Amino acid sequence: QVQLVESGGGLVQPGGSLTLSCAASGNIFSIKAMAWYRQAPGKERELVARAPTDGIADYTESVKGRFTISRDNAKKLLYLQMTGLKPEDTALYYCNADIWVSRWISRNYWGQGTQVTVSS
């Protein structure tokens, strides 16, 4: 009933920049908090950044000052602007959102992921 689709991943050189997008569609009454997660091979999935409906966004310490999360509620889009990329940022990035599908029901959804590879 609801889908999250990420895009914008790719191969970039260390120190480069990349912006990821997440489009939400389907039976959406309203979108609550949205977030970006990432998972590298052999490692557990970790939270990268969160964008509450209202309030200040927060980031994991390793990306503070380099990544910026933002959202366009009207277009139901979530973005992750990444700068100063490092090899350790290489991972499959996932979009996550807590969505109200009606006035009474909220559910959590995951996107399929988009690959970000930082290498020379």
Give the DSSP H or E segment for 32: strand 30-39
Closest-CA residue to 93 (of 118, 120, 61): 118
DSSP state of 42: T
The predicted pLDDT at position 55 comes to: 77
> Is the per-residue pLDDT at 95 higher than 90?
yes
List of residues 6+ apart from 41 with CB closer than 8 A = none
The predicted pLDDT at position 75 comes to: 94
List of residues 6+ apart from 96 with CB closer than 8 A = 4, 34, 35, 36, 37, 108, 109, 110, 111
Question: Is 7 in contact with 20 (CB distance < 8 Å)?
Answer: yes
**What confidence tens digit (pLDDT) does each residue in 41-80 have?**
999 999 999 998 877 899 999 999 999 999 998 999 999 9
The predicted pLDDT at position 89 comes to: 98
**What confidence tens digit (pLDDT) does each residue in 10-39 have?**
999 999 999 999 999 999 999 999 999 999
